[in-house]
C-alpha cells in the first residue's frame, strides 16, 4: 500500500505533526518542506512535496477551526490538547479528507488514516481513529451543510 496518494497523505500528516509539535502554522512547515525539496542539492532524506500533499495541508488549514471543534465534540474522554499528538493530527487530516475531499472514496480515507495511526501512534490509536472518523462519516451530510 504505497501509492502516490498514500505517500502524499503520510507527508501531509508529517507536516501537520511537525507544525503542531513546533507550535507553528502548517503552511509555514509546508513552505519549509517545499523550499528544502527545491534546493539545488537537497539532502538525501528530503521528501518531495507533491500536489496532493499541498492540497491536503491547505484543505485542513481552510477548515481547521471546524475540524478541531468536531474532534473536541466527539472524542469522548479526550480533550484535543491531551490527545496524543499523532492521533490529533491523523484525525485532523482524516476529517478534512473525509468531509471535504470528494475525489477519494470514504473507505479509502478511513483505511489510510488507520494505517497512519498504526505506524505512528499507540496500539490503541487505530481503533480510536477509526471510531471517530466513522462517526464523522455518519455526520458528514449535516457537517457539510
Closest CA to 15 of 37, 36, 30, 35: 30
Residue 48: pLDDT above 90? no
Does residue 106 contact residue 99 with C-beta atoms inside 8 Å? no
Confidence band (pLDDT; 50, 70, 90) for 26?
very high
Does residue 120 contact residue 84 with C-beta atoms inside 8 Å? no
- Sign, CA dihedral 96-131-19-30, equals negative
Residue 11: pLDDT above 80? yes
pTM for the full model? 0.93
**pLDDT at res. 38:** 85
User: What values do phi and psi take at 9, rounded to 5?
Assistant: -65, -45
Residues 77-131: pLDDT tens digits? 889 999 999 999 999 999 999 999 999 999 999 999 999 999 999 999 999 999 9
In angstroms, rounded to a whole number, what is the distance separating the alpha carbons of residues 31 and 19? 11
Amino acid at each position: 500500500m504505497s501509492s502516490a496518494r498514500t505517500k502524499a497523505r503520510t507527508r501531509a500528516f508529517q507536516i501537520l505533526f511537525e507544525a503542531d509539535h513546533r507550535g507553528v502554522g502548517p503552511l509555514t512547515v509546508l513552505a519549509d518542506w517545499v523550499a528544502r525539496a527545491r534546493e539545488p542539492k537537497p539532502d538525501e532524506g528530503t521528501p518531495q512535496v507533491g500536489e496532493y500533499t499541498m492540497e491536503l495541508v491547505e484543505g485542513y488549514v481552510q477548515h481547521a477551526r471546524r475540524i478541531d471543534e468536531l474532534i473536541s465534540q466527539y472524542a469522548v474522554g479526550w480533550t484535543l490538547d491531551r490527545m496524543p499528538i499523532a492521533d490529533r493530527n491523523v484525525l485532523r487530516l482524516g476529517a478534512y479528507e473525509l468531509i471535504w475531499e470528494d475525489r477519494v472514496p470514504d473507505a479509502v480515507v478511513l483505511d489510510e488514516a488507520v494505517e497512519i495511526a498504526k505506524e505512528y501512534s499507540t496500539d490503541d490509536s487505530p481503533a480510536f481513529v477509526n471510531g471517530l472518523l466513522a462517526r464523522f462519516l455518519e455526520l458528514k451530510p449535516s457537517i457539510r451543510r
